[in-house]
A and B are shown apart, each in its own frame.
Chain A
Amino acid sequence: MRGGGYFKTTYAADLALVDTRLRRRALAALVFLLLVLPRVASPFILDLVAQTALAAVGALALNVLTGLAGQISLGHAGFIAAGAFTTGLLVENGLRSPLIALPAAAVVGAALGIVVGIPALRLKGLYLALGTLALHHVVLYACAEFQNHWGANTGVSVPPPALGPWVLKGVVAWYYALTLAAALTLALSVNLRRSRAGRAWMAIRDREIAAESVGIDVARYKVLAFVWSSAITAVAGALFAYHRAFVSVEAFGFFLAVEYIAMIIIGGLGSALGAVLGAAFVTLLPHVLDAMVAGLRLAGGAAYYLFPLKFGAFGLLMAVFLLFEPQGLVGIWRRVRNWFALWPLRYRPLRSAS
């Protein structure tokens, strides 16, 4: 028998990351597109892609924790802040190499993951979300105290990362660096789904007691999820610090955590593709709104309304997705794909009689 997209004949085929020829080609085309993009696109576009890639790293990490392992975290901004401030602290003390800063951020993130993960074993669902939210505030408080100690009330500037003679500077360089980081995280997250840990996380997410009864060490895997997720997130925070060239507490408010949650919700919970789509959506939305308002050519005073409008549109879109499209962008994508796959037939669920 021949294998297909949905129909696999061997275990290896079932495990393959990229399973059909169409998908392999699409992937190759995407990689090619990303490679040649700097030759055709304006720096502005490249910068947007780079920002999306950076957001995607964080969103993918959150997706592992919330989407795969089912542990809801509202403290994601805290982990990002931890990574960023670790970098800031190291730079401030003369250790400028990213070879030190990135692993250090990962270690700090992992440690923080353990600090959160172990108490989180007692908590579930809503309580866990609130615990992480509280933790976010505590981490920010620690960062704010640091900031005060540096005497730099507004923040710390971070020089661009340098490896010997190579300095990561300029839009194109950052574009490649961040896209690579996002691609690596994506590959890692997709791969996780087919690992033992990934399956254990999904089992825990779906039903904790059942997972326990088939011999999954729930406590260990939960803590592992926290450690994994927060380590990656902290690295994203370090990249964030380098990319912005500046670290300040103001950048990591509760709203940032909401933005990340929004990314994985709008993208589609539990799906790596969804996390990337959601990151793109949330990152690009304000720019699209800007462009739309600019297109309208409103009078000078109208610019004042832009901020609340952007803010409100973000809230509205998130609400719309939560209410009407809980599967997120990925759900829409799957429906479109199925529609084409089934065409000209249609799948129509049974309707209620009344």
Chain B
Amino acid sequence: MTQVLATTVVVASLYALLAAGYVLVYRATRVLNLAQGDMMTLGGYFLFLVATAAPGEPARAIAGAAALSALAGFLIYRLLMRPMAGHPIFAAVLVTVTLGILLRAAIVLVYTDRIRHPLGLLGLANPARPLIGGAVVSTFDLFTVGAAAALFAALFLFLRFSPLGIQMRAAGEKPLLASQRGINFHLVFALSWALAGFAGALAGILYANNVRLDPSLGVLGLKAFAVALVGGLDSLGGVVPGALIVALVEVLSVRYGDPLLADVSPFLCLLAMLLVRPWGLYGTKEELERV
């Protein structure tokens, strides 16, 4: 029982990191970034890249990989998404789909589709940790939970109190008015993509160390969009309960059902949510009309 709870929290943390990326980009640009999963993979491979260049320096490697991913997010906005301004939203969403395809192709081209384990390169270990109550998790499981908690706290403070955060919310609501108030909304949007890249990279880095790294990790991203929708696409706060619900259902269906069911369970949650409350747990109802 405690094991179920512990696993749920860990899985939820990973999903929450990814879903934060969806929500950030959506809040700012109204685009659902279906490449978020592949941006996570990219983060993992950046870690691999930095780790091969300078083995045995975990702190620098992780910081470098996260920074590279944020930069990648920024560039993706600048090169791919910004030209889509003025096109229908759905076309922009499809561009993110092609972005995912391109990222995956690039990764396979450079690193082949072999499974990698950057953990060894970094000179780290991932010992199991027993918790009170008899549950066992790995060290990086704990890091995942910690990273998710820290990211959400930081994002909350940033969006709530910092001028830049307020500008990000403002530009997300009415980009034209924002530019009329001196806000360079393209810059703000690029920043939100950079933040999403950073959040995705955190997930990718932790997952790569904790489990493995291969080019098809991106499917996790599809599960995480179910999380974002269950919580409400425009609500960062909704991500947390959304992630917990989806993770719990998934963990339970692994335990009592079969792996096939577990794979599809996030989508079942999503469909159920779309039927009862399409705007999600904490999303705003008006959002449905905007898209």
Answer yes or no: A and B touching, Cβ < 8 Å: yes
B131 contacts which chain A residues (CB < 8 A)? none
| B260 engages A148 (CB within 8 Å) | yes
B227 within 8 A of A: no
Q: For the complex, count residues of B whose C-beta is within 8 A of A.
A: 41
Interface string of B87-100 (1 = CB under 8 A from A): 10111011101111
Minimum CB–CB distance from A75 to chain B (whole Å) comes to: 11
Residues of chain B with a CB closer than 8 A to A126's CB = 32, 89-90, 93, 291
Interface locus among B66-74, B151-159, B262-270: B262-270
User: Which residues of A sit under 8 angstroms from B263, Cβ to Cβ?
Assistant: 137, 141
Given the interface contacts A119-B275, A129-B93, A315-B105, does A134 sit within 8 Å of B267 by beta carbon?
yes
Sort A-B residue pairs by CB-CB distance and give the 5 closest, nearest first: A312-B105, A315-B101, A125-B291, A141-B264, A134-B267
Residues of A contacting B83 with CB < 8 Å?
323
A72 at the binding interface (Cβ < 8 Å): yes
Binding site for A on B (CB under 8 A): 32, 80, 83-84, 87, 89-91, 93-95, 97-102, 104-106, 108-109, 112, 222, 225-226, 229, 260-261, 263-264, 267-268, 270-271, 274-275, 278, 288-289, 291
In the complex, chain B residues whose CB is within 8 Å of the CB of A94: none
Contact B94 A326 (CB under 8 A): no
Q: Closest Cβ of chain A: how far from B214's Cβ, in Å? A: 14
A18 part of interface (Cβ distance < 8 Å):
no
Given contacts A311-B104, A319-B99, 5 further A-B contacts (CB under 8 A): A119-B275, A127-B274, A308-B106, A319-B80, A323-B95
Does A254 make an interface contact (CB < 8 A)? yes
In the bound complex, residues from chain B placing their C-beta under 8 Å from that of A141 are 260-261, 263-264
Question: Given the complex, which residues of A lie within 8 Å of B90, measured CB to CB?
Answer: 72, 125-126, 129
Contacts of A258 in B (CB 8 A): 97, 101
Chain A residue at minimum C-beta to C-beta distance from B225: A130
CA distance A320 to B269 in the complex (A): 35
Interchain CB contact (< 8 A) of A308 among B100, B109, B267: B109
A225 part of interface (Cβ distance < 8 Å):
no
Q: Are B108 and A308 in contact (CB under 8 A)?
A: yes
Q: Is the CB of B102 within 8 A of A134?
A: no
Chain B's nearest CB lies how many Å from the CB of A267? 14
Specify which chain A residues have a CB less than 8 angstroms from the CB of B106 in the assembled complex: 308, 312
Partner of B291, one of A124, A148, A314, A315: A124
Q: Could you tell me which residues of chain A, from 114 to 153, have a CB within 8 Å of some CB in chain B?
A: 119, 122-127, 129-131, 133-135, 137-138, 140-141, 144-145, 148
Contact of B222 among A131, A254, A308 (CB under 8 A): A254
Q: List 11 A-B contacts (CB under 8 A).
A: A119-B271, A119-B275, A123-B274, A124-B291, A126-B90, A130-B225, A138-B271, A141-B261, A258-B101, A315-B102, A326-B87
A314 near B101: Cβ-Cβ < 8 Å: yes
Tally of A interface residues using CB under 8 Å: 40
- Complex Cα–Cα for A134 and B91 (A): 19
The contact of B101 among A137, A144, A312, by CB within 8 Å, is A312
By DSSP majority rule, is chain A's interface helix, strand, loop, or mixed? helix
The answer to whether A144 and B260 touch across the interface, beta carbons within 8 angstroms, is: yes
B289 x A124 contact (CB < 8 A): yes
Query: In the complex, what distance in Å separates the CA atom of A122 from the CA atom of B91?
Result: 21
Let me know if A173 is at the binding interface, CB within 8 A.
Answer: no
Minimal beta-carbon separation of B87 from chain A (angstroms): 6
- Are B101's CB and A138's CB within 8 A? no
Cα–Cα, bound, A322→B80 (Å): 10
Chain A residue numbers with a CB within 8 Å of B288 are 122-124, 127
Kindly report which residue of chain B lies nearest to residue A317, judged by CB atoms: B98
| Binary per-residue interface labels of chain A (176-217) against chain B in the complex, 1 for a CB within 8 Å, 0 otherwise | 000000000000000000000000000000000000000000
**Residue A309 interfacial (CB < 8 Å):** yes
Within 8 Å of chain B (Cβ to Cβ): is A307?
yes
Asked if residues A315 and B229 are in contact (CB atoms below 8 Å), the reply is no
Residue of B nearest to A304 (CB): B112
For A259-270 the 0/1 string (1 means CB < 8 A from B) is: 001000100000
Minimal beta-carbon separation of A174 from chain B (angstroms): 30
What chain B residues lie within 8 Å of A319 (beta carbons)? 80, 95, 98-99, 102
Q: For residue B25, give the distance in angstroms from its CB to the closest CB of chain A.
A: 12
Q: A322 and B91: CB pair below 8 A?
A: yes
0/1 interface trace, chain A 234-259, chain B, CB 8 Å (1 if under)? 00000000000000000000100010
Give chain A residues whose Cβ lies under 8 Å from the Cβ of B112: 304
**Smallest Cβ distance from A139 to chain B, in angstroms?**
10
Chain A residues closer than 8 Å to B270, beta-carbon distance: 130-131, 134
Contacts of B260 in A (CB 8 A): 141, 144-145, 148
Identify B268's interface contact among A119, A138, A144, A307, CB under 8 A. Answer: A138
Known A307-B108, A319-B95, A322-B91; judge A134-B274 contact (CB<8 A): yes
Name the residue of chain B whose CB is nearest to the CB of A135: B271
B290 to chain A: closest residue by CB: A125
